[in-house]
Amino acid sequence: MTGRINRQSAFTGTKPAAGPLALDADKLAGWMADHIPEFEGPLSVSQFKGGQSNPTYRLDAASGSYVLRRKPPGELLPSAHAVDREFRVQEALGRTGFPVPHVHALETDEAVIGSMFYVMDFTPGRVIWEPHMPGAAPGERRAVYDAMNWTLADLHGIDPQATGLGDFGRADGYVARQVRRWSQQYRASAGTPIEAMDRLIAWLPDNLPPDGPARIVHGDYRLDNLILAPDENRVAAVIDWELSTLGDPLADFTYHLMQWHMPISKTGAGTGSLIGHDLAALGIPAMETYIAAYEERTGFSVMAHLPAYFAYNFFRMAAILAGIVARARAGSAANENARLMEGEVRPLAETAWAFARQAAS
């Protein structure tokens, strides 16, 4: 595949599930009849084009539409693809009224489809894959960005103990643990050596921002992990909770801020970027304005350690993408464009190292 892909068309909609990612629809329908009230077949299965980690499927039946998330088949990196944790956090947050899809059942027996999975309701709405929201009016962009900000601030205001998630992760040392985890994951999946990654693995443990308060963190909060209501500029559902845990809300929020500094993807397969866009003309707030809105809603202070948070977050994303590329080499990637990400890892690492130098100055 050559040239730059159109992210919106490449990642929107479904495709036939083939090869090791194919599902036995009849066997799955039998499981759903036993686990989902009012389920009625027959069942048809297709795979969503978007997503890079846990394969995700649309299930259409006479009783309605559902979504299935599974662990990828094959050999996996330790602690990755925790669909059981996704299920648990969405079940708990759903009880609070936070916008997540309604989950039905988790299946840990790999004999059903070949790996652990869970099923939730399909949430109708819009998924926008470019942060500059092509084709939208300035007022729509402004409203969507405000809704994104409000929703993440709302998540970070939820008491984990009150939701039954007090043991969903350790209450301290989140960034330090993340640095250790992604350093290990990177070393396990790395291809061509990248000097900036080696420098960051050495630098980050001694230059971490101080611990923030323990909150529920999403871990991958960005526009394309949200389903916007079909006819309103509000968040109908936050999806893709694979990296969620208890942790530092400022680490979670500053990950979300990366789009203002994201290296532009040469292939289009990487994460979207706001670089090069006239934000004022588009109706998208400047990063400082966006930070101020979050600070007002949460009472947290973001700016003091922003370069260190960016160094950590860009490093973390580089390590995540290196894992996706490794799965592509092994033939178990969820997305057919995963191999295109091989060239995205180095720019992320170099951006991270630039922020590390800024934090040290």
292-303 tens-digit pLDDT: 999 999 999 999
Predicted local confidence at residue 82, as pLDDT = 84
Is the pLDDT assigned to residue 2 strictly greater than 50?
A: no
> Which two three-digit tokens encode residue 155?
């998540």
Which of the four pLDDT bands, split at 50, 70 and 90, describes residue 20? confident
How many other CB atoms are there within 10 angstroms of residue 136's CB atom?
18
Between 51 and 4, the more confident residue is: 4
14-15 sheet: strands from edge to edge: 14-15, 43-48, 56-61, 64-70, 117-121, 103-107
**Pick the residue with more confidence: 28 or 325?**
28
Is the CB of residue 45 less than 8 Å from the CB of residue 56? no
Confidence of residue 78 (pLDDT cuts 50, 70, 90): low
Would the pLDDT of 146 be above 80?
A: yes
What are 119's strand-pairing partners?
A: 68, 105
Dihedral of alpha carbons 198, 191, 341, 316, sign: negative
Question: Would you say 62 and 41 are in contact if contact means Cβ atoms under 8 Å apart?
Answer: yes
pTM: 0.92
Helices then strands (H, E): number in the chain?
11, 10
Confidence at 337, pLDDT banded by 50, 70, 90: low
Write down all domains in the chain, each with its CATH number in brackets: 7-121 (3.30.200.20), 138-360 (3.90.1200.10)
Q: Is the peptide bond before 20 cis (omega within 30 degrees of 0)?
A: no
Q: What is the DSSP string of 285-309?
A: PPHHHHHHHHHHHH----GGGHHHH
10-48 burial: b if 16+ Cβ within 10 Å, else e: bbbeeeebeeebebebeebbebbeeebeebeeebebebb
Please give the residue that has the higher pLDDT: either 97 or 18: 97
For residues 45-60, average pLDDT: 88
End-to-end CA distance of the chain: 42
* Rounded CA separation 15/58 (Å): 10
The mean-pLDDT minimum among 6-10, 158-162, 191-195 falls in 6-10
Residues 75-96 have a mean pLDDT of 84
Mean pLDDT of all residues in 272-277: 95
